[in-house]
Structure 1
Amino acid sequence: MRWSPLARKEARTVAKSKGVWLLALLLVPWSYRPTYVGWDGLGANITAGYVQLAGTGLLPLGVLLLSYQSVVGERTAGSIKFVLGLPLTRTDILVGKVVGRTVGIAGPVSLSVLVLAGIGVVQHGLFDPLPFLGVVLVTLGYVGVLVSIGVSISAVTERTVTAAGAVFGVVFLPFIAFWSLIATALFSQATGTPVNPLDPPASGPLFLLHRLSPSGAYNVVTNWVLGVGNSASTYGGVLTELQPQVSTNAFVVEATFQPGAVPTYLHESVGLLVLLGWLVVPLGLARFAFVRGDLL
């Protein structure tokens, strides 16, 4: 693995930055949100639900901000020519940066998770370690997906301000912060069918659209691990939607489709494929542009 020295350098660079430790510090109060519905649905395993909440909003934004300068920052400073002079292919450089930054961010995030686990044990008692570990692993994998997106944007832009704008305006806002609203609007526009979020139709394409974003796929997979329901919303919204005579804007398969009428492509495992796509496709496109050597 020729890229491993570069990966170690990237990991050290990120681990020494103030930003990643600020992110780790903020993740604990961001994630610790106990609710009655969460306790009723998960019991002590609500601690694993806190880890899922760690992966919403703050974590994606922080990881993207810690990744978008990985290549374009060196290009602006002129040090990219030194990196390109190393006995590495450009593919090696991209892989090294993705792996290194993922490891550098995953360490502090894991410490935040351990703090959440400690708080959970004190407040709620011992929890089942298997779903907790499962959600943690999915969350760390999600970090890798977000790093891949950030590095890919960094590799195809010429200025840091352009990369920052793309990360925030092209990825974070549409695909993470507001994807649920956008997906519903896209479906309504394409089909001519108005969608009431409080009473969505049993439409496979509509539900699939909601889980095609990185955040939606992450929620689907972590909800699967938690065993709360099949949805691209967070566990609290899913548990609330599944209560009798309660309607929320969470699109939950069990609350909408009749048993036996759920399309195969809405199985939770498809969320893993969506996350894999967000890991590989942006990086593949970035590699194509980076290998051409037009952006130096």
Structure 2
Amino acid sequence: MENLTAIARRDFLDARRSKLVWGVFSLYGIIALLIFVGPTLVADNVESFGIISIVSSVGLFLLPFIALVAGYLAIAGERESGTVNFLLGLPNTRKEVVLAKFLSRGGLMLAATMLVFLIGVVVAATQYADPQLVLFAPTLAFTALLVLVMVSVAVGISAMTGSRSSAMAGAVGFYFVTIPFNLIPTISIPGLIRYVTNDLLGMALEGDIFQFIQAAISPAMAYQQGLNVVTTRLYFDRFESNLPPEAQEQALARLNDQAWYLAPEVMVAIMLVWLVVPLALGYWRFKDAELG
């Protein structure tokens, strides 16, 4: 445990000096702040539900990118520079190195994410007509889990590769395949499966199945699906909606009619699998790797 703590502390100090990580995260923080504050400048009846939805949508694209940037060189960078040999020359195991890198980079990302949400809570509590602070709790929980999952993916990729260029290619490829490309029906994996099964084979599979596939191959999509269901239900249960009764009933009906495998609990389970598997695969490749 002492070795794990020592490696994590050293790596945390190194990672927090990354200008690229802080530059991108500062951009996210500025955008989030503008989203939180902007509506108060033009309206008096601001509520948190819509604002949180916008912030989480922005975070869907930016936070995974920031987490991948923060972690993709965690081990590959040290392997290429040769400093990993010094690190392992001390009484440290390769398992401790992988776990420590995840803890340090994950801790850095969590601290920055919580700071952004703390600012949002302060703005909502002091400036919004209906702050709806209870909605921040599940949003922060889902966002924190997403951040940790993406750090796990980044560290796992870094442990599997032996050079900066390979780690960067893996991180960039994972980001585009699981997020931007995953949203384009014609080139996404769910879209291709839909084309083969429904269009070519005439199987007429339901849309919920493809939505589940989209979430299963992308922790960011699982985050979006789970968070949307939780916050929407909480909003309609606890607060008075500005929507007409018919629109509110339709929105709840759409949520309630979804298949059981699109429930928030299933989305959390998917994200937990993504949290564990990349680290395990990364360690499996790293434990026997020739370090040169």
Indicate the SS of the match to 1:92.
helix
Aligned to 1:17: 18
For 2:205 and 2:196, the matched residues in 1 are separated by 15
Contact residue 211 and residue 217 of structure 1 kept, 8 A:
yes
Q: Choose from 94, 101, 109 the match for 1:97.
A: 101
CA-CA distance at 1:258 after TM superposition: 8.0
CA-CA distance at 1:50 after TM superposition: 4.6
Aligned to 1:128: 132
CA-CA distance at 1:209 after TM superposition: 1.0
- 1:67-112 CA distances to partner (integer Å, 9 max, x unpaired)? 1111111111110001112222211110100011111222222222
Structure 1 unaligned blocks of 5 or more: 195-199, 230-238, 247-251
Q: Choose from 228, 252, 262 the match for 1:223.
A: 228
Listed as ranges, the matches of 1:59-98 within 5 Å are 59-98=63-102
Contact residue 159 and residue 282 of structure 2 kept, 8 A:
yes
Aligned to 1:193: 199
For 1:139 and 1:52, the matched residues in 2 are separated by 8
Contact residue 157 and residue 295 of structure 1 kept, 8 A:
no
- With normalisation by structure 1, the TM-score equals 0.78
For 1:285 and 1:100, the matched residues in 2 are separated by 19
- 1:188-241 CA distances to partner (integer Å, 9 max, x unpaired)? 2330338xxxxx974332121121111111112221331259xxxxxxxxx9xx
Aligned to 1:7: 8
Q: Which has the larger radius of gyration?
A: 2
Letter in structure 1 aligned against 2:11: E
Are the structure 2 counterparts of residues 227 and 154 from structure 1 closer, same or farther at C-alpha, using a change threshold of 3 Å?
same
For 2:291 and 2:146, the matched residues in 1 are separated by 28
Matched, 1:289 2:285: yes
For 2:134 and 2:11, the matched residues in 1 are separated by 31
Indicate the SS of the match to 1:269.
helix
Contact residue 56 and residue 215 of structure 1 kept, 8 A:
yes
Are the structure 2 counterparts of residues 254 and 268 from structure 1 closer, same or farther at C-alpha, using a change threshold of 3 Å?
farther
- With normalisation by structure 2, the TM-score equals 0.79
Aligned to 2:182: 179
Letter in structure 1 aligned against 2:220: S
For 1:24 and 1:266, the matched residues in 2 are separated by 30
For 1:227 and 1:270, the matched residues in 2 are separated by 17
Larger CA deviation: 45-54 vs 144-153: 45-54
Are the structure 2 counterparts of residues 203 and 76 from structure 1 closer, same or farther at C-alpha, using a change threshold of 3 Å?
same
Are the structure 2 counterparts of residues 20 and 112 from structure 1 closer, same or farther at C-alpha, using a change threshold of 3 Å?
farther
Are the structure 2 counterparts of residues 86 and 137 from structure 1 closer, same or farther at C-alpha, using a change threshold of 3 Å?
farther
Contact residue 124 and residue 133 of structure 2 kept, 8 A:
no
Where do 4+ consecutive residues of structure 1 move more than 6 Å?
none
For 2:21 and 2:8, the matched residues in 1 are separated by 17
CA-CA distance at 1:254 after TM superposition: 4.6
Contact residue 51 and residue 116 of structure 1 kept, 8 A:
no
Letter in structure 1 aligned against 2:229: W
For 1:79 and 1:120, the matched residues in 2 are separated by 46
Count of residues in Structure 1 that have an aligned counterpart in Structure 2: 266
For 1:113 and 1:21, the matched residues in 2 are separated by 16
Letter in structure 2 aligned against 1:288: W
Are the structure 2 counterparts of residues 243 and 12 from structure 1 closer, same or farther at C-alpha, using a change threshold of 3 Å?
farther
Letter in structure 2 aligned against 1:79: T
CA-CA distance at 1:289 after TM superposition: 0.8
Contact residue 208 and residue 259 of structure 2 kept, 8 A:
yes
For 2:135 and 2:256, the matched residues in 1 are separated by 27
